């Protein structure tokens, strides 16, 4: 049964939605940037330039700098940045014992597809060779993203695979947006249950990111890609999300292609509830699960 904190939070979301499809991009960004979350203590934040892309290391006290997780924030490829998601990147660092690199990849409509994918690939290549402790190779690499960042996590790995580049040891998606054609049954079936997202908002963000690109282009919508060869994957999604089957459909396709997929559908959870790790017991539980999963996939040494 959902916690009392969850029920109270959902009521607040319905009463004062942050994302309104009638807003301009500038208004959406201002509203999104105004929402703040508490930072976990004992975290070091270090800004870095990654091949021209701004990024920030979030490193929990005691984290291993050679174990690295690349973090891609959500926001429909239109809003969100390092600041809006630094608390979640930091929480992941604490839970996993990894250093988290939070990337400010380029957004639409100013920078449309495939700019975000290009930035993601460049950031991953850079992170393999550079850590928060300087220019040292990584002992373990992971990718994690929420919402659009979850889709970008998958797209980046597909792009790497297609060029024969080394892949991460494992990856995690949170409420991944994998289908920019928005064709899933949950779009309508979960519309009343979802307190955060609407089809109108998803369509607006897809348009701003894609421009004239076909929404079923695999590196824009990984649901339409061949997932063969991807590394182990943890996919978390809430049952009260209109993008629920963006995760369940991709997980089924990936599993059929031989990928080791752990699929978690959390009852009653809304879109990216992990961002509320400080306020919701379910949020902290999900973050702890992610941390445990990454620890389980650190390569054996010796």
Active site residues: 147, 241, 271
Task: Report the C-alpha gap between 2 and 8 in whole angstroms.
Answer: 11
240 touches 173 (CB < 8 A): no
Task: Point out which residues pair with 235 in neighbouring strands.
Answer: 173, 263
Task: Tell me the C-alpha to C-alpha distance, in Å, between residue 97 and each of 22, 60, 113, 290.
Answer: 41, 7, 33, 11
Give me the residue label for tokens 């550079």: 130
Spatial CA neighbour of 71 closest among 15, 149, 163, 174: 149
CB atoms within 10 A of CB 126: 18
Assess whether the previous peptide bond of 109 is cis (omega < 30° from 0). yes
Cβ neighbours of residue 242 under 8 Å, at least 6 residues apart? 184, 186, 187, 188, 190, 191, 194, 197, 198, 199, 202
Q: Quick check: 42 and 93 in contact, CB under 8 A?
A: no
Tell me the HSE value of 261 on the side-chain side, using a 13 A CA sphere.
Answer: 24
List strand residue ranges (DSSP E) for 17-61, in order. Answer: 43-50, 53-60
């Amino acid at each position: 049964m959902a916690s009392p904190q969850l029920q109270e939070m959902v009521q607040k979301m319905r009463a004062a939605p942050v994302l309104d499809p009638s807003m301009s991009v500038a208004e959406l960004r201002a509203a999104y940037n105004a929402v703040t979350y508490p930072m976990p203590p004992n975290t070091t934040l270090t800004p870095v330039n990654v091949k021209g892309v701004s990024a920030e290391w979030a490193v929990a006290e005691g984290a291993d700098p050679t174990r690295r997780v690349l973090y891609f924030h959500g926001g429909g490829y239109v809003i969100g940045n390092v600041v809006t998601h630094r608390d979640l990147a930091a929480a992941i660092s604490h839970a996993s014992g990894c250093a988290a690199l939070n990337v400010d990849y380029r957004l639409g409509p100013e920078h449309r597809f495939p700019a975000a994918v290009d930035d993601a690939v460049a950031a991953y290549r850079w992170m393999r060779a550079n850590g928060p402790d300087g220019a040292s190779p990584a002992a373990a690499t992971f990718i994690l993203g929420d919402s659009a960042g979850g889709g970008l996590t998958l797209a980046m790995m597909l792009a790497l695979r297609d060029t024969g580049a080394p892949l991460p040891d494992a990856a995690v998606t949170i409420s991944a947006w994998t289908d920019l054609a928005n064709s899933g049954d949950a779009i309508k079936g979960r519309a009343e249950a979802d307190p955060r997202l609407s089809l109108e908002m998803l369509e607006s963000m897809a348009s701003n990111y894609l421009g004239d690109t076909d929404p079923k282009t695999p590196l824009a919508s990984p649901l339409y890609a061949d997932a063969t060869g991807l590394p182990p994957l943890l996919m978390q999604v809430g049952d009260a999300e209109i993008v629920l089957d963006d995760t369940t459909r991709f997980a089924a396709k990936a599993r059929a292609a031989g990928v080791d997929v752990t699929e978690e559908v959390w009852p009653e959870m809304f879109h990216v509830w992990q961002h509320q790790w400080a306020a919701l017991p379910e949020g902290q539980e999900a973050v702890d699960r992610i941390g445990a999963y990454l620890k389980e996939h650190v390569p054996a040494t010796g």
